[in-house]
Structure formats: structure tokens, C-alpha cells
Amino acid sequence: MKVGIPRALLYYRYGSLWENYLRNLGVEVVLSPKTDEVILEQGLKCVSGEVCLPIKIVAGHLLYLKERVDAIFFPRLDWLYDGLYACPKMIGIVDVARMLLGEKVRLIAPSIKGNFTRAHLTAGLAVCANPVRVWQGWRRAVRSERGKRGRNEDNLPAAGRRTVALIGHFYNLNDEFIAGAIIRTFRQNGYEVITKESLPGRVLLNRSGFAHNIRWVYERELYNAFEYLLGRVDGFCMVVSMGCGPDSLVAEFMRSRAQRQGVPFLLLVIDEHTGIAGLVTRVEAFVELLNRRCLSRSGVAAGC
Ligand code: SF4
């Protein structure tokens, strides 16, 4: 049986776990390719122009897989720990997927409602009738992921390195098509880039202070990363998808907080019309500002 996984959205957090798990169940896994113009064009044709860029992109990945597999594995994240929800577009894209795929391809879309394991075991039984094999396959996949992560400390660049915190959803920042040019430009200009994926769970899952008021699961992570990195980096660059309600609220809060602390903050709002040249220009201008600020603080070029 060939099961496709769209290389978009939650894939960028759980992809290797899913691939391992399905392979443990004897499934042939087919990944959609990296996002490119063709994938995006496909997505644009079939979802509303009102939705955000990552949702348009995942629609293109689903259509790519539709012609090539027997089933598509596309879990639906309703809510995770602490009753924190995914955004409505992320929840709703699974219903859109059902419509896009029609009868041709089976959709394996377990709902994750707080219990991550149960949802995945249910999904496993959809491709493998042996519950013992499903349980063992899941345990093996989880163990192998723990071996890769197991990080308790942050992974900040060494002292004296110029560093920018890139704040944005993992499915945007890890998709080279969306954020590759931004990350490259910072690096080419001598800046280390840190994202929330480098921070330990104890930081991201913090529920005290303002974080307690944020009820979207990934938005809380973004905010916690921002709070933790304030004072530890030279500046922040936040990447927000046009039309993203949760991001726009949290971004505004972070922007004004950074402003009060005198920390440079660049907000990049992206959609399918955003040109790479324009993004690069804005990042370069921001780098210039960071460099000048660094020089004026130290008075000399040492460390800047
Ligand atoms: S959180 Fe924002 S960017 Fe992510 S799926 Fe929802 S609307 Fe789109």
C-alpha cells in the first residue's frame, strides 16, 4: 500500500515520526517534493484566496499526491496539551482535503484531540490490521524520535556572535520556498539565525504570565520563544502569513514589547505575491540597522 504524506504544515514537526511509524507498519511512504512554483500554482487554483500561504501550499502538495498514492496520511490537529487549539484554518484544511481528493484517494486523518498517541494508533489500524504490530511500530517510532531530540538546554550561538531570532511557524521557516531567502540573507551578512526549534520544551511550553492568555498552541510557543530570547539576541525578524489572525495579534504584542525594550524588530508579511528581491532588500536594510546599532553601542567594531 502506498501512503502519501504532504511535505507541508505539520510534516515539518512530525514528519520523521510519521515516516518511521508508517514504514514500521509495512507501508510504502511517498513524500510530496519540496515546495516549488508548480506546487503553489496547484494550491492556488483550489483554495480560497483568503487563506494563508501555508494552507495554499499544502493544498498543492495534496493534489500532487492524489495521482500517485492509495491513501494520504494527513492528521487533523484540533488541540494539544493544556487545551490549546490549532488555528481554524489548520483544522479546516482536512475537510478541504476530503473535498479535493474525492473518492479517488483514501484520507487517513485521525483527529488529535489532546491525546496524540491514541490518534496515531487509530490511524495505524487503518493501514495494518494487527494491533500488536501497530503498538510496537508506534513505540519504535517514538523511541527513535526521542533519541534524536532529548534536548534540555537552549542552543544559542556563542557569546559575541551576531544573532537574529527568526520568529515564525515551523512550517513557514522550514520550507525553503517560503523562508530560504530570508535565512540566507541574514547568514550571508554575518548573522546567526536562531528559531524557536532550537529552544527546549520547558521554554516553549511555559504557561505563566502573558503566555497563559494565548489559547493557540503554536502561537504560545512563538510568544514564549520571543520572551526567552529578548535580551539574548541582537534583533527579531518575525515572518507572518498574510491573512493569519493569530499571528497578527501576537506579532503586534511582540512588536510593541520589543519597541519598549529598544530591540530592533522587523515584521515580514508574506503571501504568494511576495517577491524574493523585496524580501532580501528589507532584510538587508534591517541588517544595516543592526550593524549601526551594534557599532554605536560598542564604539568599536570588536564583536560587531
Ligand atoms: S496559524 Fe496562521 S499561518 Fe498557520 S495555518 Fe493558521 S492562519 Fe495559517
State the Cα–Cα distance between residues 29 and 21, nearest whole angstrom: 10
| Protein residue whose Cα sits closest to atom 6 of ligand 1 | 87
174-227 pLDDT per residue, tens = 999 999 999 999 999 999 999 999 999 899 999 999 899 999 999 999 999 999
- Cα-to-centroid distance, 123 and ligand 1 (Å): 24
C-alpha cell, 211: 503566555
Atom number in ligand 1 closest to CA 172: 3
**pTM attached to this predicted model:** 0.93
**C-alpha pair distances (Å), 223 with each of 15, 81, 215, 228, 265:** 24, 16, 11, 9, 14
State the Cα–Cα distance between residues 238 and 168, nearest whole angstrom: 6
- Cα-to-centroid distance, 263 and ligand 1 (Å): 26
Structural domains of the chain, ranges and CATH numbers in brackets = 2-148 (3.40.50), 163-298 (3.40.50.11900)
Query: Amino acid identity of 168?
Result: G
Q: Which residues line ligand 1 (CB under 6 A)?
A: 52, 54-55, 87, 89-90, 169, 241, 244, 246-247
DSSP state of 84: P
Res 104: pLDDT: 84
Atom number in ligand 1 closest to CA 93: 5
Contact between 109 and 142 (Cβ < 8 Å): no
| Protein residue whose Cα sits closest to atom 5 of ligand 1 | 90
- Cα-to-centroid distance, 117 and ligand 1 (Å): 24
State the Cα–Cα distance between residues 300 and 304, nearest whole angstrom: 8
18-75 pLDDT per residue, tens = 999 999 999 999 999 999 999 999 999 999 989 999 999 999 999 999 999 999 999 9
246-279 pLDDT per residue, tens = 999 999 999 999 999 999 999 999 999 999 999 9
Instruction: List, in order, residues 6 or more apart from 244 with CB less than 8 Å away.
Output: 52, 87
State the Cα–Cα distance between residues 133 and 220, nearest whole angstrom: 36
88-147 pLDDT per residue, tens = 999 999 999 999 999 889 999 999 999 999 999 999 999 999 999 999 999 999 999 987
**C-alpha pair distances (Å), 136 with each of 18, 124, 129, 147, 161:** 14, 11, 13, 17, 45
Atom number in ligand 1 closest to CA 243: 7
Res 153: pLDDT: 66
Torsional sign, CA 46, 47, 48, 52: negative
**C-alpha pair distances (Å), 63 with each of 16, 43, 59, 96, 206:** 21, 8, 6, 11, 38
Q: Which of 240, 289, 241 is nearest to 263 (CA)?
A: 289
DSSP H stretches of helix in the chain:
11-24, 37-46, 53-66, 88-101, 116-125, 131-148, 170-173, 176-188, 201-204, 217-229, 245-261, 276-298
Res 82: pLDDT: 85
- Cα-to-centroid distance, 250 and ligand 1 (Å): 12
Percent of the chain at pLDDT above 70? 96
